[in-house]
Amino acid sequence: MKLLNNTTVPNEILEPLLTLAGRSVGARTSKVVVQVNRGDAWSNGCRGMAYECCWVRWQGGNKRRRYVNTSVRQPDGSSKYVTIVKNKPNRISTDGGAFKISLPVIPASCHKDGRTGPMCYNGLRIAENFMYVARHEWGHIRDYQDGGRYRLAWSRPKAGGRRAIHDRRPEEWRAENYIYDSDLRRKNKNWAYEEIMALALYLEGLKPVKKLD
C-alpha cells in the first residue's frame, strides 16, 4: 500500500490497520494509494471517498528549484539571483483506484476534561469508525479492480441527470455486503483488536501496554 499520511498519527499505526481492512474485504492492497487527511473533530466521525483511476498526483513530492534573475546590480557589478522553491507533483501509479479518508483528531483540552466533549471525542469510537469506513472504501477498490462500472452493476444517471440515493446504489450495497460476508465468515470477532486499540490509545494520548510473555 502507498500511504500518503497528512496526519500526526505514525505510519506504523495506520499501515497495519488499513492493510488489514483491505484484505478483510478481498481487495489487493499492495499497490493502492491511500491518503489519510486530518478531519474536523466536530464532524460526524470519519469520511471517505474512493476514485477509479490508474494513477494520482501528489503535491508533496520532490522540490523543484528555479533561479530567477531580478536584474539588481550589486556594488561589485554582479547580479542578484533569487531562488524560488516549488513543489513538483509526483505521479504515483495505483492498482484499480485510490481513496481518501479523514481521521478526526481529539483536542488537547478534551484529554484534561475527560468526557466533557462530544461523543466523537472518544478515541475508541473514532478508531472503530475509521476501521469501518476504511473497509467500506476498500470494498469500492475491490470493485474497481474487478472491472468497475464496465463489468459490474452500477448506478446510472436518470433522465434528470441525477443518480439514485447514495444508500440505494448497487456499488454501495456490494461494499456493505463485502463487510457483512467477511464478518460472517470469521469466528474470531476480535480479529482487528490490536490495530484498533493502537489507534485508539494514540488518539487518547496514552501509551500502549506491553504484552507480558
Domain limits, the chain: 2-54+94-155+165-203, 58-90
What is the pLDDT averaged over residues 78-102? 72
Under 8 Å between Cβ of 50 and 144: yes
Q: How far apart are the first and last CA of the chain?
A: 31
- What is the per-residue pLDDT for 61? 47
Q: CB under 8 Å to 16, separation ≥6 — which residues?
A: 195, 198
Bigger pLDDT: 146 vs 113: 146
pLDDT in tens, 15-42: 999 999 999 999 999 889 999 988 865 5
Q: CB under 8 Å to 144, separation ≥6 — which residues?
A: 50, 52, 96, 97
Q: What is the DSSP letter of 190?
A: T
- What is the per-residue pLDDT for 116? 45
pLDDT at 60 over 50: yes
pLDDT at 132 over 70: yes
How far is Cα 199 from Cα 51, in angstroms, rounded to an integer?
25
With cell 498526483, the residue in question is 57
What is the pLDDT averaged over residues 187-209? 81
- What is the per-residue pLDDT for 41? 59
Residues of the chain with pLDDT > 90, as a percent, come to 34
Domain 2-54+94-155+165-203 belongs to what architecture?
3-Layer(aba) Sandwich (3.40)
How far is Cα 4 from Cα 11, in angstroms, rounded to an integer?
9
Bigger pLDDT: 170 vs 64: 170
- What is the per-residue pLDDT for 28? 92
Confidence of residue 55 (pLDDT cuts 50, 70, 90): confident
What is the chain's mean pLDDT, rounded? 78
